[in-house]
Every structure is written in structure tokens, then in C-alpha cells.
Amino acid sequence: MISKVLIANRGEIALRIIAACREANLATVAVHSEADRDSLHVTMADEAVCIGPAFANASYLNITSVIAAAEITGADAIHPGYGFLAENAHFAEVIQECGLTWIGPPPEAIRLMGDKATARRTVSARGVPILPGSPEPLTSREAAVKLAEEIGFPVILKASAGGGGKGMRVARDGRELRHAFDTARHEAERAFGVADVYLEKYLTSPRHIEVQVLADGKGRAIAMGERECSIQRRHQKLIEEAPSPVVTPELRARLCAAAVAAAESVGYQSAGTVEFLYNDGEFFFMEMNTRIQVEHPVTEEVTGVDLVREQLRVASGLPLSVRRTPRITGSAIEFRVNAEDPETFAPSPGTITRLALPGGPGVRIDTHIYQGYRIPPYYDSLIAKLIVSGRDRGEAITRARRALSMFLIEGVKTSIPLHLKILAERDFIDGRLSTKFMERFARPE
């Protein structure tokens, strides 16, 4: 059993983990950079330790400092949240070697799923459908062109070691692919320290649908239903919802079975997400995120299951509180509120001079901001998540309009006006979504 959890993260996810720990009667330790000295997670935790200067590589990414903070506070477990060190297998191994509990999947599972080419081979061996592509990282431009000609253009190059759109390039012919190959490798090496890229058949306008899984580490994994994550900008999600408006009960059963097979193929434990591309009745494995997701609240709202609490249970050696895929009830939509210009998407750090949070039925807000809070320029621009839920998708959309119109943030620019515009779009209202939604939205025909 664990008794004190160090949260190796910041912002809204750090507060989310603190809330789950309080319900579980676990003490908490916040770590923070000098720039986050006044952050709410520092105030709300039972203890706090400054682990370095503002830049993440000297603080939140400094493994030695994080471990030292756990040792001096007597924390016996570490939760990584998402981002930063959350999918760093070496970090997980160091924690375990120090006799601490890692609240996450086994390091080897992180490593296997972290290499996208290896992940494709691993899940394919368990019958999970994958897009045609390279079984190994590509060694040359000509090898890439030869394979692309075999499976047919367009194709997409992806970094084996990363995600988030880094090291990713689409090519529609051999000339474009030769140029994209060098660009993708350079970007992958700069972002992840590994230049390896692999190639897949490119779907021009698919949906991005993911399945939340929970696994107890004893050979049992459970799918918690799907999320629609198609509304993205530069491969960064903006709006997520559960369930997907396109998924039927029969398709849900197939998606969940594939996600469970993927998780079991690497002996998974804790919470994770298996991501798929869906197109014309078929779905294909894309990747597995070996951590809690930013969009996990929509699954919590339609299942009634606290996913972070389940992570704490598994790490403590307790069984999952759910034994089978839960019944999906109602609809939930999450809007990522970023501190950025809603037209140009340029970051907008600064001081929040006025703040009013919406409330009422079906409204949840996960945030770390407050009036007078200064948003630092050093980290991700996410400052809040608005989650709305209703008896059906129509009611959730109605509540979203109401909540966003009453969500007041002054002093910085935010993505709230953008979300209100999207909510007025007929394609969104009717559930006609794809990963190209934002391109059509920005340049309507």
C-alpha cells in the first residue's frame, strides 16, 4: 500500500491527482519550478518542493531533482500525470530501483509502445488491424519510395519515438517523399533524440477515435468505451467527446476488443489509451498512450468511474473497482481552453485580471488558474478544461454553448471564442467530423 504520492507534474493535472489522492486518504507532495511558485497545485498539496528554475529541462524533466524531492519528503509513490516524464521508461525504472512505487504501466510496456514501429508489430501479432506500412524504421529515402509505390500514395512518415505531430510528414508522390524523409528525420531527432521514422498509408480524411483502457497488472484489461478526438489543429486535440457520434454498439465492441488485445500484448497495467483511425467502416491502430490522457474526464462523465482513483488502486495492489466494460450513459464533451490568440493561435501568457467560471447542471471545470494568476510562458498553453455532459449529445452541446458564453477570462487571450464558433458549425452539430475538420473550418468552401 502507498501512503504519500509525489506528483511529478504541474497545472490542472496536478490538481486532478491531488483531488483523487484526498478521496483515497493519501498525502500529497507537489514539485514545482521557480516559475510555478504561486501555482495552485503548490498551495493544495500537503507539501511542496521547488525542484529548479523555470525551464522544464532544469525542473520538471530533471529526474534527479524529482527523486530527491520524494526522498526528502518521504513520498513512497510518484504519479507522472501526462507530458513531461509520463512516458519515460527510464524514469519509471529509476523510481522502482529507488524502492518507490511508480503509478503507471511497467517500464517495458512504455518502451514497447513508445517505439511506434515496434508497437505496430506487437499489436498486429495479436490481430489488431494496422495500416499498410513499414514493419521497421526506414533506412533510406529510396526504401521509403519503393514501399510507398507498393502500398500506394499518399503516405505519411512518422517519428518512431514520438508523437504530437513532430517528425510527421505527408507525401503524395516520390519527389515529395524524398524531401519529406530528410525533413521528418531531422525533426524527429531534434524533438526526441532519435531520427528513426516509419511509413504508413495515409488516410485523407479519417476520424480519430481512441479507447480508454484500465489494466490491473494481473492479466486483466478492461475497455472503458471510446472517445471522439477528431477536432485537432496540427495534430493537437482541441475538442474531445464520449461516446463518438459515429460509433454503433457493434463497432464499439470491436474497438474495445482491439484495445484490450493491444493492452494485453504488452502486459499493461494502470490507465492507458489506444488510438485508432476510423474510415469507411474500418479502423486501424495508430498508437498507444501509456499514461492518463488530457481528455480522460469525458470518459469519467459517461461511465461514472474515477480513472485517476483506479490508477491509485492498481498501484496500491488493489483490484480495479470495475470488472467489465461499463454502460455508457449520456454524452460528454471536453473543450481545451488554451491561453492563445483564437485567430492566430499565438501563445498569450500574462496575468489573469478577471475570472468567472461557469456552473450549473452538467458543467465541470478542471483548471489551475485564478484571478491574479500569472500564466508563465515556459509551458503548454492549456489553462483549463471545460467538460459538459447531458442526457444526449444535443443536450451536451446546448450546455456547452451556455457554459462557454459564461466563461470569463480577462487579461489574456483564450480559445473560448474559437470553441463558440465551432459549436455553431453545422458539421459539428450533426457529428460530421474528421481530422480535417479544422482545415475546412478555417477555409470554408
H-helix or E-strand spanning residue 178: helix 174-192
**C-alpha cell, 309:** 482513483
Q: How far apart are CA 425 and CA 169, in angstroms?
A: 29
Q: How far apart are CA 61 and CA 90, in angstroms?
A: 12
CA-closest candidate to residue 193, choices 319, 336, 88: 88
Q: Output the CA torsion 166→296→343→407 (10° steps).
A: -160
116 in Cβ contact with 158 (< 8 Å): yes
In angstroms, the first-to-last Cα distance of the chain is 58
Q: How far apart are CA 358 and CA 360, in angstroms?
A: 7
82 in Cβ contact with 291 (< 8 Å): yes
**Catalytic: which of 10, 291, 313, 399?**
291
Q: Is 37 annotated as catalytic?
A: no
Q: How far apart are CA 202 and CA 134, in angstroms?
A: 13
**Secondary structure (3-state) at 113:** helix
Catalytic residues: 291
